[in-house]
Amino acid sequence: MKSNTLRGNVYLCPICGAEVTVLAHKCGDFKPVCCNVEMVILEKILSFYVCPHCKAEVALTEIHNDKAFSPRCCNVDMVLLPRGPGSAVA
């Protein structure tokens, strides 16, 4: 069974405005409920980056200007992770 849940998906409660984000997905479909209603998925998707040396991860939540985002860790550029279940780096 293929899951529709991806790392970086953002869900919104249509009642109170609460948001949740999938940070690491393992299996099954994630269907969060808040205020006794199912949360709706937003078009906004987070980007995740990983350090190729120490495996530290960061998530880009919003960009407030047009400058390119290029995080660095361990004195090297971090790598953009693909959108899929869990972490792509062992």
pTM: 0.68
Mean pLDDT value of segment 70-78: 94
Q: Which residue has the higher pLDDT, 68 or 13?
A: 13
Model confidence at 59, pLDDT cuts 50, 70, 90, reads: confident
Q: How far is CA 46 from CA 26, 36, 37, 75, in A?
A: 17, 26, 23, 23
Instruction: Please check whether residue 27 is in contact with residue 48, taking contact to mean a CB–CB distance below 8 angstroms.
Output: no
pLDDT digits (tens, 9 = 90+) for 4-55: 788 888 999 999 999 998 887 777 888 999 999 999 998 777 788 999 999 9
Model confidence at 90, pLDDT cuts 50, 70, 90, reads: very low
